[in-house]
Structure 1
Amino acid sequence: MKIQVQNSQISDIDTIFQFYDMAIAHQKKVFNKHWQVFDRALIETEIADNRQYKILVEGVVACVFAVTFEDKLIWGDKDADSIYIHRIVTNPEFRGYSFVKEIIKWAKAFAPSKGIKYIRMDTWADNEKLLEYYTSCGFEYVGVIKMEETEGLPKHYEGISLSLFEIKL
């Protein structure tokens, strides 16, 4: 089976939003929190900056995710030398493919050319299922933070606590 991680293109934007809609519907079913609708300009900027990715399985988009290289509002002074993974969404038809592990492999290969020393992620602090899953994928649990400042972040970050995870490279 051929799995590829590629930069998303502007032609993928409708697919990305379909994935986000699927994720929000799923979150509403299985958890007490969910993402809000994302600003199209944010996704367009991520695509233009080569920070929005897709995972293809045999040429079919199976997963999408975004990255950033700064996350000061969440990580504070630990902000440097890192790649931050956000908004991983798997098409339900491809559940069980361990895409988080594929993203980790991709990030480890990507890191040396960018001077990256950490792969980092966050999720809602009370999402036990994801806490267990991310640690089973190799992330170290770093702790919990309460979001105080959220200007510039998606709306779902307002007033929440986050669990933080990292892999030191």
Structure 2
Amino acid sequence: MADSTLQKQLLLSTPADIDEIFRLYRLASAYQVAVKGTVVWPDFDRSMVAQELAEGRQWKLMLGDAIACVWAITFDDPQIWGARNADPAVYIHRIATNPEFRGHSWVADIVAWARDYARQHQKKFVRLDTVGENHGLIRHYTACGFTYLGLAVLTDTAGLPAHYHNATVSLFELPVQG
């Protein structure tokens, strides 16, 4: 249970965080297994995450000295967003919450951070996706301000993590202004 007196910070992850990032990914995958009908994350490529860390695209929400959740971003996501990728956007991927800190609406904090971050980088949208038609996540992300754009069938998934192969994804978008 999160202590409300702990200082909350949203910071860049560092290479020293990589083991904790992968621990949170494993815990998220275990949670996905427990929630029937949810697509389960594969084991992600460590070199992919190391590259994101090196490029300053892995982030964390800290509560005191503990990582409450992590996520990755990119400014380019053509294989998932197709022609919409031409729009200037920040794309959020792989939000994974530490089970000790679930139930505190961290996505709302990430969304507020992402809107500010997108503004600073002259982007017009914050976007994210989830594999499949996960009604719980659709409700959660729309409650956080995203518009659900519907389902898209991915056709070119070479180089994407395994859960995107032969997948249909739910797409979400949030204008930066507004």
Match of 2:53 in 1: 47
Match of 1:13 in 2: 18
CA distance in 2, matches of 1:124, 1:156: 7
Match of 1:4 among 3, 9, 15: 9
For 2:96, the aligned partner's letter is V
Give the 3-state SS of the residue equivalent to 1:167 in structure 2: strand
Match of 2:32 in 1: 27
Match of 2:168 in 1: 161
Match of 2:67 among 43, 61, 71: 61
CA distance in 1, matches of 2:66, 2:167: 35
Superimposed CA distance per residue, residues 127-160 of structure 1 (whole angstroms, 9 cap, x where no aligned partner): 1111111111110011110111101110110111
- What TM-score does the superposition give when structure 1 sets the normalisation length? 0.97
CA distance in 2, matches of 1:64, 1:135: 20
Is the contact between residue 131 and residue 163 of structure 2 (CA under 8 Å) also seen in structure 1? no
Superimposed CA distance per residue, residues 5-57 of structure 1 (whole angstroms, 9 cap, x where no aligned partner): 11110000000000000011110110332011000000000000000011101
CA distance in 2, matches of 1:63, 1:135: 20
Superposition deviation, residue 77 in structure 1: 1.3
For 2:154, the aligned partner's letter is M
CA distance in 1, matches of 2:36, 2:95: 16
Match of 1:102 in 2: 109
Match of 1:134 among 138, 141, 147: 141
For 2:127, the aligned partner's letter is R
Structure 2 residue runs of 5 or longer lacking an equivalent are none
CA distance in 1, matches of 2:140, 2:102: 13
- What TM-score does the superposition give when structure 2 sets the normalisation length? 0.92
Structure 1 residue runs of 5 or longer lacking an equivalent are none
In the TM superposition, structure 1's runs of 4+ consecutive aligned residues that sit over 6 Å from their partners are: none
RMSD: 1.0
Deviates more, 1:40-49 or 1:73-82: 73-82
What is the 5 A alignment of 1:64-83? 64-79=70-85, 80-83=87-90
